A and B are shown apart, each in its own frame.
Chain A
């Protein structure tokens, strides 16, 4: 039982180097001027 650190979200980003990259996700717009999607807040479609 931890007392000083409470984990809220367990990510596994590093492992997606091997599993990701299928490219099926929708396009993102980094300027967000079109609000189509920005990388950081995109959802993986896999």
Chain B
């Protein structure tokens, strides 16, 4: 018999409809199934009954009461199949034992975000970095501070084989001489340590001329290029200090760079490019922006919801949510359509690592901000991540002093994992989103462990479409 004694189905089996499919996602194994209408209705009924009875309904009674509209022989067949799948740990699989992630005493830093420039040549309206200055003074990082930051990374990297350095800002290309010096320095230090070093750079592409693009390509730097999509959408938010839009300047640069890296991994592995945009309540039809980029030949696209204060005119309102979800639905179908036409592109958040995805310990702990990943500001101050830069309460230390990082803060970030977030413990998406972005949670609730509900809504929608596409791709392979 299917064993659902003390088993909270809603927490552990997510069923939903997407496109022409009924889908069941088994949370604890990460397995995906297509289920027929009868099975959908039976599981849905079981969940309803558990909800109505506060999960106190006896197992036998639950199985008897659920799916009363289904013919007895059919119901029996379904329950038998579910039992077999449960025995194989593929559906209704055993709930994972809650085990806190384990870390070494001293934090092992594997990545740093180097704020080489706290200045910017654009004045994007939604900039979380206060249009580049992070609400401080506009300044550039010196090569001395950058080198100390790289030394800090290697000193705290333990036995990790790879180190990652991300050039960030503001606009990092405003400090190109220092970037070049740090790339050379980082490679030398890595070679001496017998480790690999990986560089990424996030740019608005204004200064990404051919010479700079080819330099970054030759040096193996992965590049994230900012563009919001259609000209009118991009220029509304991403303009120069004189108010003029940036689209006409940046688009040729972005197209050129994307053509230098035709083999970029959709999963951002190796040397890649991604074009990355932000959508706001002014373009809840952002799927049109993604398609605009795809139609221009851009193959790696990521467009994300803006993080805003409720007072901002571009912040999402309750009435926008359905439109946003609809955009993800349309985009999912378009991803398939373009693929079938031989014009395929990848939308970053429709990637889903299931069978080859990260392990559970990684999924529990999330991004590692504050103990595996830190950001370093131009003056050498160390923060848990780029989003916390400039917030004094979150300052962990400085590369100019050999003092250990603030232990209390490290502990706080380490313990902000899924099992310590009440809203996550019962959520079917808990092992896919790891409890969301720390900075977004703090901005919303003031606490690391209290999640940002709108972020959750959109994350779940993206996952649903992502899993749908996984199934569609598998079905396409079968028919080939």
Contacts and interface: CB of A to CB of B under 8 A. Distances in A.
A9 B30 contact: yes
Contact of A8 (B34, B94, B102, B387): B34
Given A3-B36, A5-B81, A26-B198, 10 more contacts: A5-B82, A11-B90, A12-B29, A23-B110, A23-B160, A31-B440, A32-B437, A39-B363, A41-B357, A42-B353
Which bracket fits the contact residues of A?
35 or more
Interface of A, helix, strand, loop or mixed by DSSP: loop
B307 interface: yes
Interface in A1-46: 2-14, 16-17, 19-44, 46
A41 B368 CA distance: 15
Interface in B37-51: 38-39
Is chain B's binding surface mostly helix, strand, loop or mixed?
mixed
B74 to A, nearest CB: 8
B367 interface: yes
Contacts of A29: 367, 385, 437
A32 B304 contact: yes
Contacts of B434: 30, 39-40
13 contacts: A9-B32, A13-B29, A14-B89, A25-B362, A27-B372, A29-B437, A32-B304, A32-B348, A32-B349, A34-B166, A35-B268, A35-B304, A36-B224
A35 B351 CA distance: 12
What 9 A-B pairs come out closest when comparing CB atoms? A20-B359, A11-B30, A21-B361, A31-B437, A16-B359, A40-B432, A41-B351, A27-B111, A13-B30
A9 B472 CA distance: 12
A4 B30 contact: no
B61 interface: no
B230 interface: no
B90 A7 contact: yes
A4 B78 contact: yes
Among B34, B276, B357, find the residue whose CB has the most chain A CB atoms closer than 10 A. B357
Contacts of B24: 5
